[in-house]
Amino acid sequence: MTEAPPLLEVTDLVKHYAVRGGVLRRQVGTVHAVDGVSFSVGKGETLGLVGESGCGKSTVARSVLRLVEPSSGSIRLNGQEITGLSKAAMRPHRRAMQIVFQDPFASLNPRMTAGDIVGEPLSVHGLASGEKKQQRVAELFRQVGLRPDQMKNYPHQFSGGQRQRICIARALSLGPRLIVCDEPVSALDVSIQAQVINLLIDLQRQHGFSYLFIAHDLAVVAHISHRVAVMYLGRIVEISDKTELFVNPRHPYTQALLASVPVADPKARRLTPVIEGDVPSPINPPSGCAFHTRCRHVMDRCKVERPTLAEAGGGHQVACWLNEGTGRKG
């Protein structure tokens, strides 16, 4: 019996942007936003994608959804290649993949009622109209913890958390198989963040869809994800089962990220120093291991040879020369 393909399979995804300058707008450089990223998301699974601002995680999200065109690489949804598909051929796949953005206010049309916003995809895809559409929208409102009588209200009449619930209801309206959550709780108060995360977990249990969950907050990622991928300067440097990654981080960048999570006890001593300095420019990324300019374990080899993701045992993969010989090679 052949094994079913993962819901989403991304292989060697690259997204470069040209930097133009001068009177003739000639290309003077290249932004290496995403530089050879590979991962998969199983059915009903949540893959967390973490990293500092500017590491390329949002570009990965937009490339997966074909909101930006990848420079190269493969994206397969349910085993079918979707890179290079025309707008018309992408249409059924658009129904299967939805996104929830970071800023719920900016992603909602202030001139439309909440009910019209949630019902719009149903009209655009010709799935429901009239009374049937109203009933479906009311049901979606209930599913995300809003009242159907709030359908007539406008976005400014809702709180931040309620606005994100509207965005989630809109994403649910087409019955997606994959929801890309791009920093969905970063703009919310901490007390509201947990409610929205718990809602996303409950909805996944009910509907069985998958999440690609992008965040810079490790605590949030730890709560919702089954597996976690850590990105640095356009590349995945570590990917593993969530518990294994948090208990046994192997890449110095992951270790530093975990060490930078605030602890409540001021007397507690950190075993790993907090990471220092900024992420280097993706226009001119460092040679060899891109992390070598900030790594406390840097060796001569790291400055010239780029490590690739290699198996460290049990599906835990790490791109670091320190990992060499600790597991099977990937």
Select the span of 61-69, 127-135, 180-188, 287-295 touching ligand SF4 (CB under 6 A).
287-295
Q: Which stretch binds ligand SF4 (CB under 6 A): 149-157, 208-216, 240-248, 298-306?
A: 298-306
Pinpoint the alpha helices (H) of the chain: 57-64, 87-96, 114-124, 130-143, 160-172, 190-207, 218-224, 242-247, 252-259
Under the binding rule (CB under 6 A), the answer on residue 239 touching ligand SF4 is no
Containing 98, the helix (H) or strand (E) segment is strand 97-100
Task: Name the strand (E) or helix (H) holding 268.
Answer: none
CB count in 10 Å sphere of residue 241: 16
Nearer to ligand SF4, 229 or 295 (CB): 295
Can you tell me which of 56, 184, 234, 252 binds ligand SF4, judged by CB under 6 A? Answer: 252
Please report which helix (H) or strand (E) contains residue 146, including its range. none
- 177-190 burial by CB neighbour count: b if 16+ within 10 A, else e? bbbbbbbbbebbee
In whole angstroms, the minimum distance from the beta carbon of 197 to ligand SF4 comes to 30
Do 51 and 230 contact (CB within 8 A), yes or no? yes
Instruction: Determine contact, residues 208/43, Cβ cutoff 8 Å.
Output: yes
Residue 298 interacting with ligand SF4 (CB under 6 A) = yes
Under the binding rule (CB under 6 A), the answer on residue 289 touching ligand SF4 is: yes
Interaction of residue 297 with ligand SF4, rule CB under 6 A: yes
Among 4, 19, 299, 304, binds ligand SF4 (CB under 6 A): 299
- 307 binding ligand SF4? (CB under 6 A): yes
Residues 225, 204 contacting (CB under 8 angstroms): no
Is residue 295 close enough to count as binding ligand SF4 by CB under 6 A?
yes
Phi, psi at residue 98, to the nearest 5°? -125, 165
* Rounded Cα–Cα distance for residues 298 and 276 (Å): 14
Rounded to a whole number of angstroms, the minimum distance from the CB of residue 303 to ligand SF4 is: 8
Asked if residue 322 binds ligand SF4 (CB under 6 A), the reply is yes
CA dist list (Å): 223 to 54, 109, 209, 280: 23, 31, 17, 29
Answer for which of 141, 158, 209, 291 binds ligand SF4 (CB under 6 A) is 291
When binding is defined by CB under 6 A, the residue of 292, 309, 310, 312 that contacts ligand SF4 is 292
Binding segment (CB under 6 A) for ligand SF4, from list 43-51, 86-94, 219-227, 317-325: 317-325
User: Which chain residues interact with ligand SF4 by CB under 6 A?
Assistant: 251-252, 289, 291-292, 295, 297-299, 302, 307, 320-322
